[in-house]
Amino acid sequence: MLHDRSAAENASIRFDSIFKRKEKPEEISEIIPLQGEDLPSLLLRAKTVSSKSEARRLIEQGGVRVENDSGWTKITATYSFKRGDVLKVGKKGQFLRIG
């Protein structure tokens, strides 16, 4: 598939801002947790992982972080997410906002 020059430039700018300067993208997918839902289930439902096992491994290895005043903090499987939290999932940095 071919893209025009402006699409390529926009993709390059987005890549630089997210991966080189470690900024959040402007548009972040939002997910509303179900009553009593745990973090691995939420990540699976958001399609950021392919299984709960993958989600648990990612969490244990520090691959899921939450944004706070001092930057990004690793979280555990027992993390109690709250509305407005922004999660960064995995090495490629998929972002989720808790609604």
CATH of the domain at 90: 3.10.290.10
Which pLDDT score, from 0 to 100, does residue 2 have? 56
Q: Does a structural domain hold residue 16?
A: no
Q: Does a structural domain hold residue 77?
A: yes
Residues 6+ apart with CB under 8 A from 41: 34, 52, 55
Which residue in 34, 69, 41 sits closest to 55, CA to CA? 41
What total of structural domains would you count in the chain? Answer: 1
For 32, the domain range is 28-98
Q: Does a structural domain hold residue 10?
A: no
Q: Does a structural domain hold residue 32?
A: yes
Give pTM, 2 decimals.
0.74
Q: Does a structural domain hold residue 82?
A: yes
Decide: helix, strand or coil at residue 95.
strand
Backbone angles phi, psi at 19, to 5 degrees: -95, -35
Beta strands in the chain (DSSP E): 29-31, 64-68, 71-74, 86-89, 94-98
Q: Does a structural domain hold residue 70?
A: yes
Quick one: tokens of 25?
């993208």
Q: Does a structural domain hold residue 3?
A: no
**Mean per-residue pLDDT pooled into runs of 10, the chain (99 residues):** 70 57 76 95 96 96 92 90 93 90
How far apart, in whole angstroms, are the C-alpha atoms of residue 52 and residue 26? Answer: 28
Q: Does a structural domain hold residue 47?
A: yes
Bridge-partner residues for 94, per DSSP?
89
Which pLDDT score, from 0 to 100, does residue 6 have? 78
